[in-house]
Structures are given as C-alpha cells and as structure tokens.
Structure 1
Amino acid sequence: MLMRLNDTVSRKQLFFGMFICFVGAIFYCYEFILRIIPGVLQTELSIALGHISATTFGQISALYYFAYSPMQMPVGMLMDRFGPRRLLTFACVCCTIGSWMFTLTSSMFLVGAGRFLVGFGSSFAFVGVLSLALHWLPRRYFSLMAGLMTTLGMLGLVYGEVKITEWSERIGWESVLFFIAIVGSGLSVLMFLVVRDGPEGHQSNKHPLPEFFRNVLKVLMSPEVWLIGFVGACLYTSLSVFGELWGKTYLEQAHNLTKVEAARTVSAVFLGWAVGAPIAGYLSDRTGRRLLPLVLGAILALICISIVLYWPGLSYMSLNVLLFLYGVFSATEIIVFIMAKECSGAQLSGTVFAATNMIVTLGGVIFQPLVGKLLDTFGDSGIVEGEHIYTVVDYQVALSILPLSLLLVTILAFFIKDHDHKDHPIN
C-alpha cells in the first residue's frame, strides 16, 4: 500500500514538474519571438521611427545582443543563488515591458531601451528552463529537454515570423505589439503562480565570487575559446543576420515575394536549424569528429546562401529548399560548444558554455549593424518620399558578409586543434 502511495506521489510530482517546465518553455519560445520582431516589422518600424537609415535600424536591433551576450556569464550564478522561479518571473516582466516600449515609436531612446530590456530578460530563459528541468525531472530526461528546447525555440521563430507578418497586415503592427505585450503580462503572472524552484523549494547555492571570477578570467584568457567562439559566431549569422533581421526585406526586394511569402521563406532557415542541430550533435558524437562536420557544414551552407544571394530568378520552392538546407548546415554551430569544453576541461564546463555562448551571440552585436552600415555606404538609391530605398545589388553587397563569414570558418579551422576523442571511436 505504501509502495503504491509513493508511486502515485512520484507520478504526480513528475507530471507537475513537466507542467512547470512546459510553462518555462513557453517563456523561452516567447522571448525567441520577441527576438525577430525588428526583422519582421522592419519597414513599418523604420517609417514609424522617422524613416531611419539601415545603419540606425541595425544598431537598434543589435541592442538586444548588447544586453543578452554579457549576461551569459553571470546568469548561471544568479540562477543558483536566487532560483529559477523569481528570476524567470522577473525576466518575463522585463521582456513584457521591453516589448511594450517598442510601441512608443515617438521616442528613439525608449525604443532602444525597450530592445535592450528584451535582450536582458531573454538572457535568463534557456538557463532558467534547464534549471527547472534539473530540479523537477529525472536525470535521464535532462538531455532530451535540452534538445527539445532548441527545437521549440526554432519552431517558435517559424510560427512567429509568419503570424506576426499576417496579423500586422490585418490589424496593424501597433496592435500586434500591444497584443504581444498582453501575452507577456499573462505569462508573467502564470510564471509567478505556477513555477516552483523544486520539490523541496529553493536551496541557495552561493558560489564564492572570487572563485567565479577566477574561472571566468581563466576561460576568457584562452585564445582557443575565443577562436572557437568566433567560428560559432560566423555560422550563427544565418540566424542573427539573415533569419532575424535582414533576410525578409532582401527576399521581398530581390525575389519579388510578398511580405507573407518572404516571412514563410525566412522561417525555412529556422526550421532547418531545428532539424540540423540534433543531427549535427549526433553525427559529431557518433564519428568522434568535431572539425570535419563543422567545416563541411560551413562549405555546404556557403553554397546554399550564395545561390540565394547571387542566382536570379529562383522559384519560390527553390528558395525554401535552399534556405532550409542553409539552416540545416549552419546548425553545425552547436559543435563549437563541445569543442570549447574539450579544449578547456570538464571542470570548467559551465563557465566555458556561458563564455562560448557570449562570444557567439556577440556576433549579433557586430554583424547586424554592419550590414546596415554597408547598405547605407554602398547603396546609391537615395530616399523616395522619406523612405530609404535599396536595390538588389545593395543588398547583395551588404549581405556578402554571410558567404564571407562561412569562408572564414573554413580558413580558421586550420588554426583549431581537433582534440582526440577516444570515448567516441569511429564505427
């Protein structure tokens, strides 16, 4: 009888834990949707902000990464100290306020501050949900949860890219952003009421600050970690540059797609990442090779994006297939996290993962505004009725960053040591 009672309690606890993780995962999906809003509503926001240049628009969008990237280092320590419930609720509130501030287009400062606040809140999402999974779910489900999180985030981008575009055409972009802020408010309340740190409540794990800073300094002083992270940033441009910001307007201009068609086509990149990320990780572990799948992925992604950029007259179906494959091959980026850990040692794995993710996402800080600057520098189409107009050639020149960054991956690979993986023999 006692055994059955314990089994019942365990099942209830498991289902409750799964529900808590599901609520956290909704927030993770929500912040991913917020990430792509500038790219989805680029034309509308540029006009509302006073017909701003591509350089300025890229800088505003990159404010997300100005907050998100440096927060990757302390977020794990904060999660240990304060627990996921309080921090995820706080983070969701920050994202909600930031998304609402994005509707205040009368003030460039408030729009920029809102974008920064969204990036700050989003930085807690992935680590927070993994922390919930670690406390609530059996250990055997942890890796599955991590993989599902990546896939869920990409699927959120697929859905958000298309739906935000459709809704903005029906009810106006201001109403869409206001609705997104309302959803965030409800999610913040749900997070506070439902989420719990663990079955036994929060047990603070206060790591000594001197030790934390020593570990951070040790990792950041490693040239190999920076090199590996930069390689990851180059592969991540498929999301940070094309998928999140500049891809939709390029497809509208170069391939004469409608806004909805362009949104659906860009979402193929996200879908490709959702499929490619777990495959890349599996193949790398299965073969015991890191650099080989990374370089092959970069070369194949280079071919796909070059065709999209420089081959005129592609059909709608061809564009979708090519961009899906571009996402699949770019997803080999996830291998850089394992490479960084293997070159630094398992004892610093948490700090290494955080540092690598920081370096990878810093690419958004650099590349998003750089494309805008190139558009304004080389674009000679001028301004029509107060709106900046860019030709297909302007976009091709500016987005040449994408194939060049992938070419750089293949060159930098020669300077990275492929560590021996005796635990993963080739079968």
Structure 2
Amino acid sequence: MSSADTAAAAGRLPGDPPGGRRAVLVWSIGVSVYFVAVIFRTSLGVAGLDAVQRFHINASALSTFSILQLLVYAGMQIPVGLMVDRLGTKRVLTLGVVLFTLGQLGFAFSSSYAMALVSRALLGCGDAMTFISVLRLGTRWFPARRGPLVAQLAGLVGMAGNLVSTLVLARLLHGVGWEAAFAGSALAGVAVLVLMLLFLKDHPEGFEPAPMPATHRGAAYVRAQIAAAWREPGTRLGLWVHFTTQFPAMVFLLLWGLPFLVQAQGLSRGTAGELLTLVVLSNMVIGLVYGQIVARHHAARLPLALGTVGTTATLWAMPVVWPGQSPMWLLVAMCVVLGACGPASMIGFDFARPANPPERQGTGSGIVNMGGFIASMTTLLAVGVLLDATGDNYRVAFSAVFVLQTAGVSQILRLRKRAARRERERLVASRVSSVHVPV
C-alpha cells in the first residue's frame, strides 16, 4: 500500500503527520510556553493600580505599557513567521521564552518608569514568538483536518493563562508584594524552558520538511516570501477576519473594561472583576465549540466569523445607547458574547493555512496575527483620546469600535469569493498530485 493510500485510510491527506499520543505530548509542551506567555502578557491587567503607585504615573502613562507591548508584538509577527519557517519551532520558542522571562523578571525589579517600559517591550518581543510557533508545531504534528480544533485549543490554553493571571497573580501581588509576585511568576518561564529543551521536537520522525535551498536566503528571499504569502487571498482574508473579530475583547480585557464597568456603569471593582473573568470563561467554552464546528463543517468558517462580529456589535452597542446605567443581565450578556471574539479570531488562521504551502506557514500566520493586534492598538488609543476629549464620555469613546468593525467587514466581503475559489483550486491540485504518488 502506498503512503497516499495509508494516509487516506486514516482519514489524512497525503504527507499528513499521524498525530497520536506523542503528538499530544509534544504539542502540550509547546502550548505550555504560550500559557506562561499569556500569564506574563496579562499580568499588568491586575497590577495597574499598583503600577501607578510604584512608578508615580498617571492613567495615560499606564496605558502606554499596554500599547507599547502590543506594538512590539504586532511588529514582530512577520519577522517571527519568517524565523519559524527558516529556523524551526524549537529555536524560536527557546528565544521567546528567554526574552519574555527576562522581561517579567526585569519588570519585577524595575525602579523607574523607563526601565519598566523596556521590560514590557522585551516581554512583548518574547511573547510575539510563542503563538506562531505553537501553530506551526500543530501543523507539523497533527493531520490537517485537526488544524482548526488544535488552533482553538491553543487559544483556549492561552485564555486559561489569562484566568491564572486574574485569579492567582492578583492574590500573590497583594499577598507578597510587587517584587516577590513578579519575580516568582518568572520561575514559570524557567520551568517551561527546561521542559522544552529536554522534550520538544519540531516534527515527528519521517516527516522532516524538505531542506531549504541555499538560494532561500537574504533580503530578496524574505521579500519574496512575504509577497507570496500576501498575494494569497486566503492570507488577506485571514488577516481581516482576525482584525475584525479579536479586538473588542482585547480592548475590554487589557485596559478599558474595568474603568467602563466601574466609572460608567457604577459597579464595584469586585463585581467588575467577576465580569472580566466571565469573558475569559466564556472564551474557553466557546473556543471548544467553534473548534469542533469548523473541524467538521469547513463552510461554517465565514458565517461563524461574521455572526460573531454582528452579535458583538449588537451587544457592545446596547450598553452604549442604554439610558443611564445598564441592567446587570445586559452586562453579563455583553461579557459572554465578548468571549466569542478570541475563538472567532482563530478562524482567520484557518483561511491562511490552506492558502500557503508548508514552507510559508509561519509567514502566513504572522501576517494574520498582526490583524487583531493592530486593531486593538488603534482602538486602545482611540478610546483614550476620545475619553480625554469628551470628559470621560464612554458612549462616544466606545463607538470607535464600530468604525473598525465596519472597515473589517467590508474587506472580508470583498475577499471571500476570491479566497474560496483559490482554496478550491489548491484542493483539486493536491488530490490530483496524490494520485501520482509512487507505490
């Protein structure tokens, strides 16, 4: 029986890795790195008030931490994608762990605002290397049909890191103090680094990627790699899906959710924190559902993404236009729906994955991953500027979300037919080539 027949009998495409228990083990080590990275990324969300006191800064300076971190993260996505394609997962993840652990450790002992900014930038640089690497690890160890579920599970583990930051790090911070809490959490980075160096492998035996030709070097090759990924309609569609779906929840969780719930809605900090936790829990549950749906019904990708955008816009608008303070049921519904933003953004990678060959997967994923973070940075800044300009009028400031959603949806609708046609062409070509695989 040929390798193509063996793969077909197992429900795999020709050349697909077999998956199995070992794949789960190796992938779990990789995703644990992403888990720790998200804990470090979101740690400032529970330490904002402490940071104001420690560094003697105002709210605008505090928001600079988040914007700088996202700026570095987004700016690193294409370089990281190229690095993953060229160097492999293990090397890039190793560098990422070292950088984000040093960043967290530096933040623990920062005595000045400038030093703290440098530490957060370093953390953002290391964090930027994790998710693309984990996505690449999944494509190297699992069959293509498992791709959507594996990607959603990775996102779910990331949200679990957010939950740890919200529930555990917050208590440590107020129990043992700033330096002990942040320095102690940095030990998690050391732990995953050891695990990764000992047990992580880029791919299973017998599924090594083809060696990269010597001509695939230098600036000309880099430009060609980026241009080739960008020319694929699926890559651009994936970017705009990620752009349009992810950012409302990011903006709410990273910075503006707590002030909105406390200042505009009159809730206590404790109740507002519980609603933020609800967003995280909702994300974890919906991620599992979306992963199963997309894995079984590939045509559901775009309806799920657009449906999430429409529902998010509706539930975001209702508290904004509600006269006076919104009822609790509405705020709960809003937070539950915001939990779908992360899982919906993962669908973007499922448009880019079939659009790019294996040697360009990292580059394509890097382009897609820029989308949501660019939208998040833009909205974080726009909301802050509008709040300052209107005297903390959240109705006006939060309306900035609709501008970016409208822009994103228009691009999705423009690209959807071209991406679908190109994906069908690639699928037909892969089936034809599998017929000619030698016995």
Greater CA drift, 285-294 or 84-93: 285-294
What's the counterpart of residue 83 of structure 2?
78
8 Å Cα contact 1:231/1:409 also seen in 2: yes
The letter for the 2-side match of 1:242 is: F
Q: How far apart are 1:97 and its partner, in Å?
A: 0.9
Q: How many Å apart are 1:126 and its aligned residue? A: 2.3
Residues 290, 418 of structure 1: 8 Å contact kept: no
2:160 corresponds, among 139, 155, 166, to 155
| Alignment partner, residue 304 of structure 1 | 315
In 1, Cα distance between equivalents of 2:352 and 2:277: 29
Equivalent runs, 1:314-393 vs 2, <5 Å: 314=326, 316=328, 318-328=330-340, 331-339=343-351, 350-379=362-391, 393=392
Does residue 193 (structure 1) correspond to residue 198 (structure 2)? The answer is yes
The one of 52, 59, 62 equivalent to 1:57 is 62
The verdict on how the C-alpha distance between 1:247 and 1:298 changes in structure 2, with shifts beyond 3 A counting, is: same
Identity of aligned residues (%): 24
2:417 aligned residue: 418
Which residue matches 1:383? none
Query: What CA distance in whole angstroms lies between the structure 2 residues aligned with 1:221 and 1:141?
Result: 26
- Decide whether aligned partners of structure 1 residues 142 and 355 sit closer, same or farther in structure 2, where only a CA change above 3 A counts: closer
Q: Pick the aligned partner of 1:103 from 96, 103, 108.
A: 108
SS in 2 for 1:106: coil
- Please, which moves more after superposition, 123-132 or 281-290? 281-290
Gaps of at least 5 residues in structure 2 are 1-18, 425-439
Give the letter aligned to residue 397 of structure 1: V
Alpha-carbon offset, residue 95 of structure 1: 0.8
Kindly indicate whether residue 188 of structure 2 is the aligned counterpart of residue 183 of structure 1. Answer: yes
Query: Do structure 1's residue 261 and structure 2's residue 260 form an aligned pair?
Result: no
Aligned residue number for residue 22 of structure 1: 28
Aligned counterpart, 1:145: 150
Residue 31 of structure 1: CA displacement? 0.8
Q: Deviation per CA, 1:19-69, whole angstroms, max 9, x where unpaired?
A: 343222221111112222232222221232222232x33332122222222
Shift of 1:152: 1.2
Q: Kindly state the Cα deviation for residue 94 of structure 1 after the two structures are TM-superposed.
A: 0.8
Q: Does the 8 A contact of 2:69 with 2:120 survive in 1?
A: yes
CA distance in 2, matches of 1:99, 1:36: 11
- Cα pair 1:228 1:336 within 8 Å, conserved: yes
- Residue by residue, what CA displacement relative to the aligned partner does 1:229-280 show, whole Å, maximum 9, x if unpaired? 3453232212321122221232232334444432331132233333334544
Answer with 26-35 or 344-353: which moved more. 344-353
Shift in CA distance, 401/33, structure 1 to aligned 2, threshold 3 Å: farther
**Secondary structure of the corresponding residue to residue 162 of structure 2:** helix
Unpaired runs of at least 5, structure 1: 1-12, 380-392
Tell me, what secondary structure is at the counterpart of 1:74?
A: helix
Q: 1:206 aligns with which of 200, 209, 212?
A: 212
Alignment check: 8 A CA contact 2:152 2:346 kept: no
Structure 2 CA distance for partners of 1:414 and 1:182, relative to 1, 3 Å: closer
Q: 1:140 to 1:398 in 2, by over 3 A?
A: closer
Equivalents in 1 of 2:298, 2:102: separation in Å? 46
Contact conserved, 2:234 with 2:351, CA < 8 A, in 1?
A: no
Residue by residue, what CA displacement relative to the aligned partner does 1:369-427 show, whole Å, maximum 9, x if unpaired? 33333333333xxxxxxxxxxxxx4344333323443344445555444344797xxxx
Letter in 1 for 2:400: I
1:116 paired residue number: 121
Change (3 A) 1:112 1:411: same
> Any idea what the Cα deviations from partners look like across 1:53-107, whole Å, max 9, x if unmatched?
32x3333212222222232223344335444333323211211111122234432
What's 1:43 paired with?
A: 49
When residues 260 and 191 of structure 1 are mapped into structure 2, their CA distance, relative to the original with a 3 A threshold, is farther
Number of residue pairs aligned between Structure 1 and Structure 2? 396
**Contact 1:36-1:245 at 8 Å conserved across structures:** no
| Cα distance between partner residues in 1 of 2:210 and 2:120 | 31
Q: 1:416 to 1:350 in 2, by over 3 A?
A: same
Partner SS, residue 418 of structure 1? helix
Task: Tell me the amino acid that sits aligned with residue 52 of structure 1.
Answer: N
For the residue of structure 2 that corresponds to 1:36, the secondary structure is helix
Distance 1:290 1:143 in 2: 10
Shift in CA distance, 212/244, structure 1 to aligned 2, threshold 3 Å: same
> Is the alpha carbon distance of 1:345 and 1:24 closer, same or farther for their aligned partners in structure 2, counting shifts above 3 Å?
closer
TM-score computed with the length of structure 2 as normaliser: 0.76
RMSD, aligned CA: 3.6
Aligned partners of 2:379 and 2:401 also within 8 Å: no
Superposition TM-score, scaled by structure 1 size? 0.78
Q: Is the 8 A contact 1:219 1:352 kept in 2?
A: yes
Match of 1:272 in 2: 282
Q: Is the 8 A contact 2:244 2:409 kept in 1?
A: no
Q: 1:294 aligns with which of 297, 305, 326?
A: 305
